[in-house]
Amino acid sequence: MTRFQSSNKKRRVKGFPLFFSLFLILFFLLDPSLHFSQIGPALEWHLLYSKIRDGLISKEEAQDKLKGLESSLRHDYLKNWRGVFDDSIGFPLPGYPPNAIGGKGGSGYRIQDYDFFDGNQHKGHPGHDIFIQDKNQDGLDDVTGKPVEVVSVCSGIVVSVNLNWSPPSSLRGGNYVWIYDPVKGRYFYYAHLNEIVVQVGQIVYRGDRLGTVGRTGLNAYPKKSPTHLHFAVHQSMAGYPKPMNPYQKLKRGGH
């Protein structure tokens, strides 16, 4: 009798953790706030940037959040970092010469009243357009007949990717990638891409493939625009990304 009771009790004790685990799994799956806290700083950056881009958040709130996320990105990623600590960058279109950069002597770079927190409504052109040979605008290089690869100019974390641009979207960047270098506190922006092969949260190193040059984006899509990559660099000052001019480095092929 005593033996039977005790074994029955054991069985009940065994059953309870299984039921409890199932309950916990369901609880975590169904509670969106708990789910949100699991996403990590790169995906949070991506969601925050979408709000900035679409004008859905105040500058003050956005800067405050960005500052916190940059600190989390540094903390989460520097542990396993094997990035390059020098200040040079690579050229984003391998095989293309520096004179593919638009304008004269880097004149394509215009800060004017640019403010990162103006999102899609920003003024100025705080970057460089690098043109490919694509007279028939099919997105392929006229000489090789192949898509033109876009590579990362430095080490960093992919913090935002937009993949689904199609006309008549008014989004200026089209299909784009934002990369954050947590060592230098610097952002790198690649816009108007066609294909994108990286994901938010992924670590990339200099020379890693990001995607291919495309014609996506409000002003890059119409016929009047020759096919190009838009490339920009921002230095973050306490969560406030300020444009910087990479022209001298790009002109030397990235060094």
Is 215 near Zn ion (CB under 5 A)? no
Q: Which two tokens stand for residue 251?
A: 């002109």
Strands 228-237 and 240-244, by their bridges, are antiparallel
For Zn ion, the closer CB: 58 or 219: 219
| Amino acid occupying residue 75 | H
The interface region with Zn ion, picked from 111-119, 127-135, 150-158, 206-214 by CB under 5 A, is 127-135
Is 129 near Zn ion (CB under 5 A)? yes
Is 230 near Zn ion (CB under 5 A)? yes
Write down the least CB distance from residue 232 to Zn ion, Å. Answer: 8
The CA-atom distances, in angstroms, between 45 and each of 16, 29, 56, 149 are: 40, 22, 14, 25
Write down the least CB distance from residue 221 to Zn ion, Å. Answer: 13
For Zn ion, the closer CB: 115 or 129: 129
Write down the least CB distance from residue 78 to Zn ion, Å. Answer: 31
C-beta atoms surrounding 139 within 10 Å: 17
* Distance between CA atoms of residues 240 and 71, nearest Å: 13
Give the count of alpha carbons within 13 A of 134, CB side only: 24
- The CA-based diameter of the chain, rounded to the nearest angstrom, is 96
Using CB under 5 A, count the residues that bind Zn ion.
2
Write down the least CB distance from residue 164 to Zn ion, Å. Answer: 20
Write down the least CB distance from residue 125 to Zn ion, Å. Answer: 6
The interface region with Zn ion, picked from 1-9, 14-22, 45-53, 225-233 by CB under 5 A, is 225-233
Are 162 and 120 in contact by the 8 Å Cβ rule? The answer is: no
* Residues within the interface to Zn ion (CB under 5 A): 129, 230
